[in-house]
Chain A
Amino acid sequence: MRQSLLALLAKEPAHGYELKQALETIFGGAYPSPNIGQIYVTLGRLEKDGYVRSVDVEQANRPNKKVYYITAAGREALETWVEEPSEGPRVRDEFFMKLVLAPMTGLSDRMALVNRQRRHYLALMRDLRELAERTDPANRVALLLIEGAMLHLQADLDWLERCQEDLP
């Protein structure tokens, strides 16, 4: 979340709650709605690292609010982040561990594991499809994020098929 917050602050100074709302608006239902506590913790760390600073803004009849803005060091860090290639997704698949290890323990056979997992992936796909249908067609960002999740899920299913073919 560090970089997303830096990017938003590079656009304009904001307080924590505005950052939360901005993330929700931009990424829509496909983004895990950030909890406000996480945002303040992250902002605190960014401040400690010298990437953002905050000023207290007085409000009539309310407690002061803290408005954050990005520093030169923050801009530099953001620039580095934008320019470096992003890591590819890592295969860190809990199911694959089960599939390889569980039969050794005699707990389950692979066919049953694969079949159960396939149905589960299809249930997730159905959720994603329904989420896509509910998403505002004008929100390209949210729809692309959902499509990305669908493509990953499709790859997981294809891999499952390969496992079923090649692991006795």
Chain B
Amino acid sequence: MTADAPVVRAVNLVKIYQTGGLPVPAVRGVDLTVEAGEFVAIMGPSGSGKSTFVHMLGGLDTRTSGEIWLDGRRADTLSESGWAVLRREKIGFVFQFFNLVANMTVADNVELPALLGGVSPRQARERREYLLGELGLADRAEASPAQLSGGEQQRVALARALANQPRLLLADEPTGNLDSRNTRDVLRLLGKVHGQGQTIVLVTHDARVASMADRVVSLLDGQIVDDGAIPKSRRRPLGAAGDVVELRS
């Protein structure tokens, strides 16, 4: 657990599903290293293995072969309870489905990971108020998850994932249920926490989200086909997006 160990290191990671018939390879030998503070977006068509890949990084799906190292520690050999501890201590996860605790208020859902992480109730409350405020949900704190729209639940799940200031934020389509205004709130918060040094690995097909990343990894058929930084655009800086938006003459 050295200070300069990468936050994520996947080595020749493979996942083969076998449900009855033929084995179906979903992830076919992926190597990925993510340094502390990096923001990596994972893109690719559906069925390219991107969700399976981040689920393995979070221990929600077991690997068939290969290694996963998180924060300098071997993780793929952990038991389910070992993963549970690791997730509680190090990982915030935003799923496509939200997994909020139904009989707890929004506020309690968000504070819970921080409290489990050992911060004081006051700190947990302040962090929760900050996160819900940033996501435009301050007035929903006392609601129960069932009273929220899909988009609201998704934002609460993001607040919960960030409550503990985890070493790693993993997210699978975190804006999949959001309209453009709510997406804007989520982008702003991701930008802020990334600016504060949050390491982020997220799967998205939303180019607005991907364009926030330092690095984009593209998967196709379970393999990485591209991995690199988003370049500076070659256009003149947009004081005006005149080249992009053309009204007909």
Q: Which residues of A contact B (CB under 8 A)?
A: 1-2, 4, 27, 29-33, 42, 111, 115, 118-132, 145-150, 153-154, 157-158, 161-162, 164-165
B187, A129: Cβ atoms closer than 8 Å:
yes
Given A111-B225, A122-B207, A128-B241: 20 more A-B contacts, CB < 8 Å: A30-B242, A118-B43, A120-B231, A120-B233, A121-B207, A122-B230, A123-B232, A125-B208, A125-B210, A125-B211, A126-B211, A127-B238, A129-B208, A129-B211, A132-B184, A154-B208, A157-B205, A161-B45, A162-B45, A164-B225
Q: Which residues of A contact B231 (CB under 8 A)?
A: 119-120, 123
B235 pairs with A127, CB closer than 8 A: yes
A146 near B245: Cβ-Cβ < 8 Å: yes
A124 to chain B, nearest CB (A): 6
Whole-angstrom distance between the Cβ of A168 and the nearest chain B Cβ: 12
In the bound complex, do residue A31 and residue B247 qualify as a contact, i.e. CB atoms below 8 Å apart?
Answer: yes
Give complex CA distance A148, B242 in Å: 13
Task: Select one of B43, B208, B241 contacting A30, CB under 8 A.
Answer: B241
With both beta carbons as reference points, the residue of chain B lying nearest to A124 in the complex is identified as B233
> In the bound complex, do residue B239 and residue A158 qualify as a contact, i.e. CB atoms below 8 Å apart?
no
Assess whether B245 is in contact with A145, with CB atoms less than 8 Å apart: yes
B18 within 8 A of A: no
Contacts of B235 on A, CB cut-off 8 Å? Answer: 124, 127
Q: Which residues of A contact B244 (CB under 8 A)?
A: 30, 124, 127-128, 149, 153
B242 and A32 form a contact (CB under 8 A): yes
Interchain Cβ contacts within 8 Å, total number: 112
CA of A123 to CA of B234, assembled, Å: 9
Shortest CB-to-CB span from B232 to chain A, Å, is 7
- Let me know if B220 and A165 touch, CB within 8 A: yes
Q: When the two chains form their complex, are residues B206 and A154 in contact, meaning their CB atoms are under 8 A apart?
A: yes
Check: B180 CB closer than 8 A to any chain A CB. yes
Q: Are A127 and B45 in contact (CB under 8 A)?
A: no
- Are B45 and A165 in contact, CB atoms less than 8 angstroms apart? yes
Residue of A nearest to B41 (CB): A122
Minimum C-beta distance from B146 to chain A (A): 31
